[in-house]
Amino acid sequence: MKRAIQLLLLCLVAGQLLAGYKPVQAAEGMAYREEREAVLRQARCQAPADEKLYTVWLEGAPLLGQIKTVNALPGEYILVALQFSAGTGYEWRLANDKLRFAEVICTEKLPFPDNSRSGGRMAAIFLLKVRWDAPTEEGINFILARPWENPDKVPPAAVAEVRCHYAPPSKGYTP
């Protein structure tokens, strides 16, 4: 009897695999990716279609934060998207407005799809273009804070960083 049950379970699992069964985890990951893509489709901040674009999604964390690294060349674009909750008063902003590696082309805040409730998830979008005279490395820091609070007195709720690198072009390089 025990052997028959084992054989039956093996047949059920094999049948599902042959029928193209995908684990739920993969479907959830796909829905999460589709959600992010839907946010970016509604964005006005877009790099020109013929330009190289690196997209970085970050979710800040208290104290240490989240760090992503991007290797980009001068003239290329970096789109940074950061999630936050709308009803809290907190917003993502650059920790330092004087960037040396890239210039800010545009910023905007967008709701996630099917976000009909007040205080739902939002994404702060920052489109950056790597400068031609950029240093070879810079950390671009973002903070999640309330705009009316003094950053010297109230620490940010979360931080995130994009570490940007590029190898300078060799002599004779023309863009």
| Mean pLDDT, each 10-residue run in order, the chain (175 residues) | 68 56 50 78 88 84 73 91 87 89 92 73 91 88 90 85 76 52
CB atoms within 10 A of CB 128: 28
| pLDDT recorded at residue 76 | 92
Tell me the CA distances in angstroms from 135 to 4, 79, 101, 103, 143, one per residue in order: 68, 19, 6, 13, 22
| pLDDT recorded at residue 21 | 47
Kindly report the pTM of this predicted structure: 0.74
Domains of the chain: 26-165 (2.60.40.2020)
| pLDDT recorded at residue 38 | 83
| pLDDT recorded at residue 42 | 85
Supply 83's token pair: 């999630």
